[in-house]
Protein backbone atom coordinates (compact mmCIF):
# COMPACT_ATOMS: atom_id res chain seq x y z
CA UNK A 1 0.00 0.00 0.00
CA UNK A 2 1.41 3.37 -1.00
CA UNK A 3 1.79 6.02 1.65
CA UNK A 4 -0.41 9.01 0.78
CA UNK A 5 1.47 12.16 -0.21
CA UNK A 6 0.44 15.20 1.75
CA UNK A 7 1.15 18.71 0.42
CA UNK A 8 1.52 21.05 3.39
CA UNK A 9 1.63 24.06 1.04
CA UNK A 10 -0.26 24.41 -2.23
CA UNK A 11 2.00 24.64 -5.34
CA UNK A 12 1.87 28.44 -5.63
CA UNK A 13 2.75 28.88 -1.92
CA UNK A 14 5.60 26.39 -2.23
CA UNK A 15 7.07 28.31 -5.14
CA UNK A 16 6.81 31.57 -3.17
CA UNK A 17 8.49 30.00 -0.14
CA UNK A 18 11.32 28.61 -2.26
CA UNK A 19 11.81 32.04 -3.85
CA UNK A 20 12.12 33.63 -0.41
CA UNK A 21 14.65 31.00 0.69
CA UNK A 22 16.74 31.52 -2.45
CA UNK A 23 16.62 35.30 -2.03
CA UNK A 24 17.79 35.08 1.55
CA UNK A 25 20.51 32.67 0.51
CA UNK A 26 22.06 34.92 -2.13
CA UNK A 27 21.50 38.41 -0.68
CA UNK A 28 24.37 39.39 1.65
CA UNK A 29 23.31 40.63 5.07
CA UNK A 30 24.16 44.27 5.73
CA UNK A 31 26.69 44.50 8.54
CA UNK A 32 27.99 47.32 10.70
CA UNK A 33 29.63 50.30 8.95
CA UNK A 34 33.39 50.60 8.85
CA UNK A 35 35.19 53.89 9.39
CA UNK A 36 38.75 54.78 8.42
CA UNK A 37 40.88 55.32 11.53
CA UNK A 38 44.33 55.19 9.94
CA UNK A 39 45.98 53.86 13.12
CA UNK A 40 48.72 51.94 11.32
CA UNK A 41 48.94 54.68 8.69
CA UNK A 42 49.56 57.29 11.40
CA UNK A 43 52.23 55.07 12.93
CA UNK A 44 53.98 54.63 9.56
CA UNK A 45 53.22 50.90 9.46
CA UNK A 46 51.17 50.95 6.23
CA UNK A 47 48.22 52.76 4.65
CA UNK A 48 46.52 49.69 3.20
CA UNK A 49 42.78 49.09 3.13
CA UNK A 50 43.49 45.40 3.84
CA UNK A 51 44.96 46.25 7.27
CA UNK A 52 42.23 45.92 9.92
CA UNK A 53 44.14 48.27 12.22
CA UNK A 54 43.39 51.10 9.82
CA UNK A 55 39.64 50.71 10.36
CA UNK A 56 37.04 50.84 13.08
CA UNK A 57 34.65 47.95 12.52
CA UNK A 58 36.97 45.67 10.53
CA UNK A 59 38.19 45.75 6.96
CA UNK A 60 35.60 46.80 4.36
CA UNK A 61 33.66 44.11 2.53
CA UNK A 62 30.65 43.68 0.21
CA UNK A 63 28.13 44.25 3.03
CA UNK A 64 29.81 47.32 4.56
CA UNK A 65 28.99 50.99 4.29
CA UNK A 66 32.42 52.64 4.29
CA UNK A 67 33.16 56.09 5.72
CA UNK A 68 36.01 58.60 5.80
CA UNK A 69 35.64 61.36 8.38
CA UNK A 70 38.18 63.47 10.31
CA UNK A 71 40.06 60.59 11.95
CA UNK A 72 43.13 59.60 9.97
CA UNK A 73 42.82 62.54 7.58
CA UNK A 74 45.84 64.24 6.04
CA UNK A 75 46.81 67.88 6.48
CA UNK A 76 47.74 68.36 2.81
CA UNK A 77 45.64 67.91 -0.33
CA UNK A 78 46.50 65.09 -2.72
CA UNK A 79 48.95 63.39 -0.34
CA UNK A 80 47.98 59.70 -0.27
CA UNK A 81 46.84 58.56 3.16
CA UNK A 82 45.00 55.33 2.23
CA UNK A 83 45.70 52.69 -0.39
CA UNK A 84 43.38 50.15 -2.01
CA UNK A 85 46.02 47.45 -2.27
CA UNK A 86 43.84 44.79 -3.91
CA UNK A 87 40.41 44.26 -5.45
CA UNK A 88 37.85 45.48 -2.90
CA UNK A 89 34.04 45.49 -3.01
CA UNK A 90 31.96 47.60 -0.63
CA UNK A 91 28.28 48.51 -0.24
CA UNK A 92 28.55 52.32 -0.18
CA UNK A 93 31.14 55.06 0.27
CA UNK A 94 31.13 58.48 1.92
CA UNK A 95 33.86 61.07 2.23
CA UNK A 96 32.47 63.34 4.95
CA UNK A 97 35.60 64.88 6.46
CA UNK A 98 35.10 68.30 8.03
CA UNK A 99 38.83 68.80 8.70
CA UNK A 100 41.82 67.57 6.73
CA UNK A 101 41.88 65.69 3.44
CA UNK A 102 41.62 62.12 2.22
CA UNK A 103 43.40 60.86 -0.88
CA UNK A 104 42.75 57.25 -1.86
CA UNK A 105 45.28 55.51 -4.09
CA UNK A 106 44.07 52.51 -6.11
CA UNK A 107 47.03 50.33 -6.94
CA UNK A 108 47.84 49.01 -10.44
CA UNK A 109 45.51 46.17 -11.41
CA UNK A 110 43.21 46.83 -8.43
CA UNK A 111 39.55 47.87 -8.54
CA UNK A 112 37.57 49.56 -5.81
CA UNK A 113 33.97 48.58 -6.48
CA UNK A 114 30.88 50.01 -4.84
CA UNK A 115 28.14 47.47 -5.55
CA UNK A 116 24.55 47.88 -4.39
CA UNK A 117 20.97 47.43 -5.55
CA UNK A 118 19.23 49.90 -3.26
CA UNK A 119 17.56 53.24 -3.88
CA UNK A 120 20.08 55.13 -1.77
CA UNK A 121 23.17 57.31 -1.75
CA UNK A 122 25.76 54.84 -2.98
CA UNK A 123 28.54 57.45 -3.06
CA UNK A 124 28.24 60.70 -1.12
CA UNK A 125 30.91 63.40 -0.88
CA UNK A 126 30.15 66.08 1.72
CA UNK A 127 28.83 66.06 5.27
CA UNK A 128 25.15 65.94 4.34
CA UNK A 129 24.48 68.49 7.09
CA UNK A 130 24.76 72.24 7.55
CA UNK A 131 28.19 72.71 9.13
CA UNK A 132 28.29 76.42 8.46
CA UNK A 133 28.86 78.59 5.43
CA UNK A 134 32.64 78.02 5.37
CA UNK A 135 32.66 74.21 5.57
CA UNK A 136 34.73 72.56 2.85
CA UNK A 137 35.29 68.85 2.28
CA UNK A 138 37.96 67.78 -0.22
CA UNK A 139 38.73 64.18 -1.16
CA UNK A 140 40.61 62.65 -4.07
CA UNK A 141 41.46 59.36 -5.75
CA UNK A 142 44.63 58.63 -7.63
CA UNK A 143 46.54 55.72 -9.14
CA UNK A 144 46.46 53.47 -12.18
CA UNK A 145 43.66 51.30 -10.80
CA UNK A 146 39.91 51.62 -11.32
CA UNK A 147 36.97 53.02 -9.34
CA UNK A 148 33.73 51.27 -10.31
CA UNK A 149 30.28 52.08 -8.95
CA UNK A 150 27.38 49.81 -9.89
CA UNK A 151 23.74 50.13 -8.83
CA UNK A 152 21.05 49.56 -11.46
CA UNK A 153 18.27 50.78 -9.13
CA UNK A 154 16.81 53.91 -10.72
CA UNK A 155 16.65 55.53 -7.28
CA UNK A 156 20.38 55.22 -6.56
CA UNK A 157 22.42 58.41 -6.30
CA UNK A 158 26.06 59.44 -6.76
CA UNK A 159 26.26 62.80 -4.95
CA UNK A 160 28.87 65.55 -4.52
CA UNK A 161 27.63 68.53 -2.51
CA UNK A 162 27.94 70.69 0.59
CA UNK A 163 25.06 72.89 1.67
CA UNK A 164 24.29 75.58 4.21
CA UNK A 165 21.37 77.78 5.15
CA UNK A 166 23.66 80.75 4.43
CA UNK A 167 25.66 81.72 1.37
CA UNK A 168 29.41 81.27 1.78
CA UNK A 169 32.55 79.44 0.72
CA UNK A 170 31.30 75.94 1.62
CA UNK A 171 32.15 73.31 -0.97
CA UNK A 172 32.45 69.53 -1.41
CA UNK A 173 35.03 68.32 -3.92
CA UNK A 174 35.76 64.87 -5.32
CA UNK A 175 38.90 64.95 -7.43
CA UNK A 176 39.42 61.86 -9.61
CA UNK A 177 41.79 63.63 -12.02
CA UNK A 178 44.76 61.57 -10.84
CA UNK A 179 42.92 58.27 -11.31
CA UNK A 180 43.21 56.16 -14.45
CA UNK A 181 39.64 54.87 -14.76
CA UNK A 182 36.14 55.62 -13.42
CA UNK A 183 33.02 53.59 -14.24
CA UNK A 184 29.56 54.54 -13.01
CA UNK A 185 26.22 52.79 -13.43
CA UNK A 186 23.54 54.38 -11.26
CA UNK A 187 20.17 56.08 -11.21
CA UNK A 188 21.42 59.67 -11.09
CA UNK A 189 24.67 61.64 -10.96
CA UNK A 190 24.10 64.76 -8.86
CA UNK A 191 26.54 67.60 -8.23
CA UNK A 192 25.12 70.27 -5.93
CA UNK A 193 21.63 68.99 -6.52
CA UNK A 194 20.49 66.29 -4.07
CA UNK A 195 17.78 67.80 -1.87
CA UNK A 196 17.18 65.93 1.40
CA UNK A 197 14.75 68.62 2.57
CA UNK A 198 16.85 70.28 5.26
CA UNK A 199 19.06 73.34 5.68
CA UNK A 200 21.89 71.23 4.33
CA UNK A 201 20.20 71.30 0.91
CA UNK A 202 20.36 75.09 0.55
CA UNK A 203 23.15 76.96 -1.31
CA UNK A 204 24.46 73.61 -2.56
CA UNK A 205 28.04 73.66 -3.89
CA UNK A 206 30.00 70.78 -5.39
CA UNK A 207 32.92 70.13 -7.72
CA UNK A 208 33.63 66.86 -9.50
CA UNK A 209 36.84 66.23 -11.45
CA UNK A 210 36.52 63.07 -13.53
CA UNK A 211 39.27 60.51 -14.09
CA UNK A 212 41.45 59.99 -17.15
CA UNK A 213 38.99 57.54 -18.75
CA UNK A 214 35.32 57.64 -17.74
CA UNK A 215 32.32 55.49 -18.63
CA UNK A 216 29.07 56.77 -17.11
CA UNK A 217 25.57 55.35 -17.54
CA UNK A 218 22.56 56.72 -15.62
CA UNK A 219 18.98 55.43 -15.81
CA UNK A 220 17.08 57.43 -13.17
CA UNK A 221 14.50 60.19 -13.10
CA UNK A 222 14.95 63.33 -15.17
CA UNK A 223 17.39 64.92 -15.12
CA UNK A 224 19.53 61.82 -14.65
CA UNK A 225 22.61 64.06 -14.61
CA UNK A 226 21.73 67.08 -12.51
CA UNK A 227 24.27 69.81 -11.82
CA UNK A 228 23.06 72.68 -9.62
CA UNK A 229 19.55 72.24 -8.21
CA UNK A 230 18.44 73.73 -4.88
CA UNK A 231 15.20 74.02 -2.94
CA UNK A 232 15.88 77.68 -2.21
CA UNK A 233 19.12 79.43 -3.11
CA UNK A 234 21.58 78.04 -5.63
CA UNK A 235 25.33 77.64 -5.24
CA UNK A 236 28.28 77.27 -7.60
CA UNK A 237 29.01 73.85 -9.10
CA UNK A 238 31.57 72.43 -11.52
CA UNK A 239 32.02 69.18 -13.43
CA UNK A 240 35.37 68.80 -15.17
CA UNK A 241 35.69 66.04 -17.77
CA UNK A 242 38.73 63.83 -18.20
CA UNK A 243 40.75 62.84 -21.25
CA UNK A 244 38.21 60.28 -22.52
CA UNK A 245 34.56 60.49 -21.52
CA UNK A 246 31.64 58.28 -22.55
CA UNK A 247 28.29 59.25 -21.06
CA UNK A 248 24.91 57.54 -21.58
CA UNK A 249 22.01 59.58 -20.19
CA UNK A 250 18.48 60.21 -21.40
CA UNK A 251 18.36 63.57 -19.61
CA UNK A 252 21.00 66.02 -18.49
CA UNK A 253 20.77 69.51 -16.99
CA UNK A 254 23.55 71.95 -16.18
CA UNK A 255 22.38 74.79 -13.88
CA UNK A 256 18.98 73.25 -13.23
CA UNK A 257 17.72 75.95 -10.87
CA UNK A 258 19.15 78.95 -9.05
CA UNK A 259 22.76 77.89 -9.57
CA UNK A 260 25.90 78.91 -11.40
CA UNK A 261 27.39 75.84 -13.04
CA UNK A 262 30.19 74.77 -15.35
CA UNK A 263 30.65 71.65 -17.49
CA UNK A 264 34.06 71.71 -19.15
CA UNK A 265 37.16 69.68 -19.86
CA UNK A 266 39.71 69.84 -17.07
CA UNK A 267 41.88 72.91 -17.86
CA UNK A 268 45.05 70.85 -17.35
CA UNK A 269 44.10 68.86 -20.48
CA UNK A 270 44.40 71.86 -22.78
CA UNK A 271 46.21 70.81 -25.96
CA UNK A 272 45.75 67.06 -25.35
CA UNK A 273 42.57 66.72 -27.47
CA UNK A 274 40.17 65.33 -24.82
CA UNK A 275 36.93 63.78 -26.10
CA UNK A 276 33.31 63.46 -25.01
CA UNK A 277 30.89 60.91 -26.46
CA UNK A 278 27.36 61.73 -25.25
CA UNK A 279 24.42 59.44 -26.05
CA UNK A 280 21.11 58.35 -24.62
CA UNK A 281 20.67 55.51 -22.17
CA UNK A 282 17.55 53.96 -23.72
CA UNK A 283 17.76 55.64 -27.13
CA UNK A 284 20.65 56.58 -29.37
CA UNK A 285 20.27 60.29 -28.56
CA UNK A 286 19.92 62.24 -25.34
CA UNK A 287 16.22 63.07 -25.02
CA UNK A 288 16.62 66.24 -22.95
CA UNK A 289 19.75 68.38 -22.64
CA UNK A 290 19.22 71.68 -20.83
CA UNK A 291 21.62 74.43 -19.83
CA UNK A 292 20.19 77.01 -17.44
CA UNK A 293 16.61 75.79 -17.75
CA UNK A 294 14.91 78.36 -15.45
CA UNK A 295 12.95 75.68 -13.61
CA UNK A 296 9.95 76.84 -11.58
CA UNK A 297 10.70 77.27 -7.90
Q: Compute φ and ψ for 91, nearest 5 degrees.
A: -90, -40
Label residue 116 exposed, middle or buried (CB < 10 Å: 0-12, 13-18, 19+): buried
pTM of the model: 0.88
Which pLDDT belongs to residue 30? 62
Q: Distance of CA 2 to CAs 5, 9, Å?
A: 9, 21
What is the rounded distance in angstroms from the CA atom of residue 34 to the CA atom of residue 55?
Answer: 6
Which pLDDT belongs to residue 229? 85
Instruction: Report the mean per-residue pLDDT for the chain.
Output: 88
Position 200 confidence tier, pLDDT thresholds 50, 70, 90:
low
In this structure, are residues 123 and 91 in contact, taking their beta carbons and an 8 Å threshold? no
**102-135 pLDDT, tens per residue?**
999 999 999 999 999 999 999 999 999 889 999 9
Residue 138 pLDDT greater than 80, yes or no: yes
Taking CA 227 as the corner, what is the angle to CA 79 and CA 276, rounded to the nearest 5 degrees?
Answer: 75
Report the candidate in 273, 203, 214 with the shortest Cα–Cα distance to residue 239.
Answer: 214
Kindly state the percentage of the chain with pLDDT values over 90. 74
Kindly report which listed range (58-72, 110-124, 190-204) carries the lowest average pLDDT score: 190-204
Give kind and range of the element (H or E) at residue 41.
Answer: helix 39-42
What is the rounded distance in angstroms from the CA atom of residue 168 to the CA atom of residue 135?
Answer: 9
Which pLDDT belongs to residue 166? 87
Which pLDDT belongs to residue 13? 41
Residue 83 pLDDT greater than 70, yes or no: yes
In this structure, are residues 73 and 103 in contact, taking their beta carbons and an 8 Å threshold? no
What is the rounded distance in angstroms from the CA atom of residue 181 to the CA atom of residue 211?
Answer: 6
Kindly report which listed range (20-29, 92-101, 175-184) carries the lowest average pLDDT score: 20-29
Amino acid sequence: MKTPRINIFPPRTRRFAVAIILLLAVKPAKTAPVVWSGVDASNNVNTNWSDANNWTGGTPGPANDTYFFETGANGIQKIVNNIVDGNTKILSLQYGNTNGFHTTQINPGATLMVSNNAAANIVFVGTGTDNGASQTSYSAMTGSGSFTVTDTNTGSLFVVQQGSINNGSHLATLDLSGLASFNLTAGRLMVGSANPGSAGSNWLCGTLYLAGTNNIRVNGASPAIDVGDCISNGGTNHVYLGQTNVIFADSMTIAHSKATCTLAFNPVLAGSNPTLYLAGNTNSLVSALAIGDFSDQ
